Amino acid sequence: MPFSLSAVLRPLSRAVTYTRWLHLLIASVAGVLVGFLYNKPFFAGGWLTWLWMAVLPLPLLLLAALIPVVRRVEGLQAQLLLTPGPHGLEARAASGIATTPSGSWSDRGRTAVWLLLRLEAGVALSALTAQLPLLAGAFAMAAAGRPTRLKGLPAIEAPHWWYGLLAPLPLVLLAAVAVGAGSLTAAAARLLLGPSAAERLTELEARTERLLEHNRLAQELHDAIGHALTVTVLQAGAARTAGSPEFTERALAAIEDTGREALADLERALRLLREDAPGPAGRPALTDTERLLESARAAGADLRAELSGPLERLPGPVSREGYRMVQEALTNVLRHAGPVPVSVRIAADADALELEVRNPLPVTSPNPGSGGRGLRGIRERAALLGGEAETGPDGGEWRVRARLPLRQLGPVRATICGAR
């Protein structure tokens, strides 16, 4: 590879080189503060001073590593000074450096190793930062014909012009050491301050929960908005062809009610995306089934419903998901079969919730179960609750049937049994 001076000098033009340098220099402050507790030994001068700075703080750092919040402080400092680029939330997460308190003895051990490593590297770089520029100055003075006697450095008794050739070398060495030490420190921070196995597992679970929540939100929008649009289209078409002002008035009222419900569902979804949703309590449940049935009747369906059991005592997740399953089944009927007779059965007992929606198979319309994600969503909802769902032709009718078990929910089952 050809030599490139710009590539060699590029690290010196990056701000992160100097923030890492500063990060290591700060580490030697602990040695200076502890050194003030000692008088003559610490201020003996020369390399003995730096040795004391590297040794004296060790017990205190080992004790500090036992404090959980120290890991958080070190992680934040390392993120800000060791990682390049902007320091927003995403950049900090991608840095590979954790900013959480120690949660285990393993975390405390890694924090202790980090503190010791940072101290020793910081003291060494601080010594070079203080001494190498002095050495470069000594060479420059010797090149000018002036003998030098600097504390901690060998004396130059016979000055000569060729010392001028040596003057830049200490500065070049200091820059190279600073760049290399900064890169190695950043790598050590990712290793010693990076997330533990438990933290990575927690983050993976949180990411999985977010993905599941997004999928659930997509299904919610599909069911709620799809149902509202289907009912609205059918009502508008019926009102246009009916030629009856009275029927048109009823259709417009039904469209208005359906639109309001769709707007409420949309607002809940948007609030969930903004992470300030009021929680699942605001979502419709099987206790709101009558409103759903009236919406389907207003769209022209000849609907017969049979509701039994204590629906108001069902577990929240079962009741809410059951509502969406019935809603999607009715939407499919209106969309693919039109205003046909529909029977809906919702039965709850101590063991399970059963849902069934039936309608005649259309003669010329497409198969109501073909394509789309609606029926697949019904099966997915049932599976997530430990139940099962079946969709398909059954004796000249299209049937959607689901069974959601309640037996594993002990306290809820006892409540339902008492209400029967």
| pLDDT at residue number 113 | 93
Backbone angles phi, psi at 402, to 5 degrees: -140, 145
Gap between the Cα atoms of 100 and 72, Å rounded: 5
Gap between the Cα atoms of 339 and 368, Å rounded: 13
Count of beta carbons in the 10 Å neighbourhood of residue 418: 10
- Kindly indicate the confidence band of residue 15, based on its pLDDT and cuts at 50, 70 and 90: confident
Gap between the Cα atoms of 305 and 358, Å rounded: 11
Q: What is the pLDDT of residues 81-105, one digit of tens each?
A: 888 665 544 555 567 788 888 888 8
- Kindly indicate the confidence band of residue 307, based on its pLDDT and cuts at 50, 70 and 90: very high
Q: Which residues neighbour 136 within 8 Å (Cβ) at sequence distance 6 or greater?
A: 167, 168, 169, 170, 171
- Kindly indicate the confidence band of residue 281, based on its pLDDT and cuts at 50, 70 and 90: low
| pLDDT at residue number 331 | 82
Three-state secondary-structure class, residue 386: coil
| pLDDT at residue number 208 | 61
40 dihedral zone (left: phi>0; alpha: psi -120 to 50; beta): alpha
Gap between the Cα atoms of 303 and 358, Å rounded: 10
Lateral strand order in the sheet of 341-348: 302-308, 341-348, 352-360, 397-405, 388-394
Gap between the Cα atoms of 362 and 335, Å rounded: 11
- Kindly indicate the confidence band of residue 37, based on its pLDDT and cuts at 50, 70 and 90: low
Name residue, tokens 């037996």. 407
Gap between the Cα atoms of 337 and 366, Å rounded: 8
Range 277-281 average pLDDT: 49
Least reliable range by pLDDT among 36-40, 131-135, 375-379: 36-40
Task: Indicate the helix (H) or strand (E) that contains 269.
Answer: helix 245-273
| pLDDT at residue number 391 | 87
Q: What is the pLDDT of residues 264-276, one digit of tens each?
A: 777 766 666 665 4
Least reliable range by pLDDT among 94-98, 171-175, 309-313: 94-98
Highest-pLDDT range among 43-57, 238-252, 301-315, 404-418: 301-315
Q: Is the pLDDT of residue 75 over 50?
A: yes
Write out the two tokens for 182: 């900064």
Highest-pLDDT range among 41-55, 150-164, 319-333, 369-383: 319-333
3-state secondary structure the chain: CCCCHHHHHHHHHCHHHHHHHHHHHHHCHHHHHHHCCCCCCHHHCCHHHHHHHHHCCHHHHHHHCCCHHHHHHHHHHHHHHHCCCCCCHHHHHHCCCCCCCCCCHHHHHHHHHHHHHHHHHHHHHHHHHHHHHHHHHHHHHHHCCCCECCCCCCCECCCCCCHHHHCHHHHHHHHHHHHHHHHHHHHHHHHHCCCCHHHHHHHHHHHHHHHHHHHHHHHHHHHHHHHHHHHHHHHHHHHHHHCCHHHHHHHHHHHHHHHHHHHHHHHHHHHHHCCCCCCHHHCCCHHHHHHHHHHHHHCCCEEEEEEECCHHHCCHHHHHHHHHHHHHHHHHHHHHHCCCEEEEEEEECCCEEEEEEEEECCCCCCCCCCCCCHHHHHHHHHHHCCCEEEEEEECCEEEEEEEEECCCCHHHHHHHHHHC
| pLDDT at residue number 273 | 63
Strand residue runs (E) in 268-351: 302-308, 341-348
Gap between the Cα atoms of 356 and 343, Å rounded: 8
- Mean residue pLDDT of the chain comes to 77
Distances (CA, A) of 246 to 36, 203, 239: 95, 58, 10
Q: Which residues neighbour 20 within 8 Å (Cβ) at sequence distance 6 or greater?
A: 81, 82, 178, 181, 182, 183, 185, 186
User: Which of the two residues, 314 and 364, has the higher pLDDT score?
Assistant: 314
- Kindly indicate the confidence band of residue 301, based on its pLDDT and cuts at 50, 70 and 90: confident
Highest-pLDDT range among 74-88, 102-116, 213-227, 329-343: 102-116
Report the candidate in 174, 171, 130 with the shortest Cα–Cα distance to residue 152. 130
| pLDDT at residue number 112 | 93
| pLDDT at residue number 157 | 64
Q: Is the pLDDT of residue 185 over 80?
A: yes
Q: What is the pLDDT of residues 93-139, one digit of tens each?
A: 567 788 888 888 888 999 999 999 999 999 889 888 888 888 888 78
Range 38-57 average pLDDT: 64
Count of beta carbons in the 10 Å neighbourhood of residue 57: 24
Range 231-252 average pLDDT: 74
Q: Is the pLDDT of residue 412 over 70?
A: no
